[in-house]
């Protein structure tokens, strides 16, 4: 028997669209299901100023296929030279919805990120005053810290001190991967949110490393042990307003993933909604999928929920999607959950 689930149209509160041919290849994969997305600014060179964000927004909209509706929610890449007045103006104009903090060297295209937090104090204070959220890639870059501990250590060494030093600063802990991240998100008030990706609800570190190395499961923060995956599932399906979807769908061409020094990122834009329905059904929480994917993120960003709807259907036939997309720009391998999924998005 066919089961149907109708949601407010979802938002992806953490998305990498890239630029040029890759942008053209991946944008329809998101716009097919999502009404809006928080667009990550880690281009080369990064999107630092309001003018750069406006130009990037125009390039995104110029790539949008006829008949598709999609609103890119723009962000600025925080550098030690970021001008508080430019940030405030980009926010006041309605263009920019968040500022992104990458610790320098933490992840893909983060070389222009922050090393000395004293240098961004004035920007953070301005953001606290105007209510503009700071989205944080929460990993320390200290080579002495084990990669599996970098999120937990970041919370203690950086995130908590920054939040204490900047009262009122609204923060989104991006792509949390640990129980420590879940617990810290819960320790905050309504000024603290956390995004959770699709893939971190599905894979643990064994998927990457056991039985041969699987580069398409490698992303940052790297997936952790099973107990952490279970903590993320509990948080995502809790219905709590602080937890919301940010897929972190991050396309890299296959030749750079299947490489001696492979890039970090999983590409989930194509199949996220069927995968989430599968996960939420396993957790007996289908009734909370709308909160996670469509309501909580919008509320955090003080946006109205989308007017449109997305209908998911469960049938006896497994869902199908392409193994790869963007043949010219990539190809880019679509995340493979490793199990059949019977939920489909109804067009
Ligand atoms: C992202 C990318 O490829 O831009 N990669 C990733 O593994 N998540 C960067 C990021 O979000 O950290
Ligand atoms: Zn990141
Ligand atoms: Zn990301």
Sequence spans of domains, the chain: 3-345
Q: Would the CB of 108 count as within 6 Å of ligand 1?
A: yes
Active-site residue (options: 12, 86, 180, 248): 248
Is 248 annotated as catalytic? yes
Between the CA of 220 and the centroid of ligand 2 the distance, in Å, is 6
Q: Would the CB of 107 count as within 6 Å of ligand 1?
A: yes
User: What pLDDT score was predicted for residue 251?
Assistant: 98
Between the CA of 28 and the centroid of ligand 3 the distance, in Å, is 18
If you take atom 6 of ligand 1, which residue's CA is the nearest one? 265
CATH no. for 3-345: 3.20.20.140
Ligand of minimum distance to the alpha carbon of 138:
2
- Percent of the chain surpassing pLDDT 90: 97
Asked if the bond preceding 331 is cis, omega within 30° of 0, the reply is: yes
If you take atom 5 of ligand 1, which residue's CA is the nearest one? 265
CA of 88: how far to CAs of 48, 258, 317, in Å?
A: 13, 41, 50
Q: Which residues of the chain have pLDDT under 70?
A: none
User: What pLDDT score was predicted for residue 281?
Assistant: 98
If you take atom 4 of ligand 1, which residue's CA is the nearest one? 108
Q: Would the CB of 204 count as within 6 Å of ligand 1?
A: no
User: What pLDDT score was predicted for residue 327?
Assistant: 84
What is the SS3 string spanning the chain?
Answer: CCEEEEEECCEEEEECCCCHHHHHHHHHHHHCCCCEEEECCCCCCCCCCHHHHHHHHHHHHHHCCCCCCCEEEEEEECCCCCCHHHHHHHHHCCCEEEEEECECCCCCCCCCCECCHHHHHHHHHHHHHHCCCEEECCCCCCCCCCHHHHHHHHHHHHHHHHHHHCCCCCEEECCCCCHHHHHHHHHCCCCEEEEECCHHHCCCHHHHHCCCCCHHHCCCCCCCCHHHHHHHHHHHCCCCCCEEECCCECCCCHHHHCCCCCCCCCCCCCCHHHHHHHHHHHCCCHHHHHHHHHHHHHHHCCCCCCCCEEEEEECCCCCCCCCEECCCCCCEECCCCCCCCCEEEEC
pLDDT digits (tens, 9 = 90+) for 44-75: 999 999 999 999 999 999 999 999 999 999 99
If you take atom 12 of ligand 1, which residue's CA is the nearest one? 107
Q: Would the CB of 207 count as within 6 Å of ligand 1?
A: no
- Percent of the chain surpassing pLDDT 70: 100
Between the CA of 101 and the centroid of ligand 2 the distance, in Å, is 9
Q: Would the CB of 136 count as within 6 Å of ligand 1?
A: no
Between the CA of 242 and the centroid of ligand 1 the distance, in Å, is 22
């Amino acid at each position: 028997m066919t089961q149907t689930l109708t949601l407010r149209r979802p938002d992806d509160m953490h998305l990498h669209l890239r630029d040029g041919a890759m942008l053209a290849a991946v944008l329809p994969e998101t716009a097919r299901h999502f009404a809006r997305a928080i667009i990550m600014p880690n281009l080369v060179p990064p999107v630092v100023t309001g003018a750069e964000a406006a130009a990037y927004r125009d390039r995104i909209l110029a790539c949008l296929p006829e008949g598709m509706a999609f609103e890119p929610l723009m962000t600025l890449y925080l550098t030690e030279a970021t001008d508080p007045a430019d940030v405030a103006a980009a926010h006041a104009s309605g263009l920019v919805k968040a500022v992104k903090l990458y610790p320098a060297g933490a992840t893909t295209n983060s070389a222009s990120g922050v090393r000395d937090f004293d240098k961004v104090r004035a920007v953070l204070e301005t953001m606290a005053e105007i209510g503009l959220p700071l989205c944080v890639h929460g990993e320390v870059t200290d080579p002495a810290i084990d990669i599996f501990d970098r999120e937990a250590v970041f919370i203690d060494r950086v995130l908590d001190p920054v939040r204490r030093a900047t009262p009122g600063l609204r923060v989104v802990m991006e792509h949390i991967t640990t129980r420590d991240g879940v617990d810290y998100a819960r320790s905050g008030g309504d000024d603290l949110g956390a995004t959770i990706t699709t893939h971190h609800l599905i894979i643990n570190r064994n998927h990457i490393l056991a039985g041969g190395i699987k580069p398409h499961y490698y992303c940052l923060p790297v997936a952790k042990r099973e107990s952490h995956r279970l903590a993320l599932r509990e948080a995502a399906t809790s219905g709590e307003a602080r937890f919301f979807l940010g897929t972190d769908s991050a396309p890299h061409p296959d030749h750079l993933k299947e490489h001696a020094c492979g890039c970090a990122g999983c590409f989930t834009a194509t199949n996220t909604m069927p995968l989430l329905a599968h996960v939420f059904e396993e957790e007996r929480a289908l009734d909370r999928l709308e909160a996670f994917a469509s309501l909580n993120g919008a509320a955090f960003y003080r946006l109205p929920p989308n007017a449109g709807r997305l209908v998911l259907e469960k049938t006896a036939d497994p869902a199908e999607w392409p193994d790869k997309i963007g043949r010219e720009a990539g190809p880019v391998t679509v995340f493979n959950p490793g199990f059949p999924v019977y939920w489909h998005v109804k067009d």
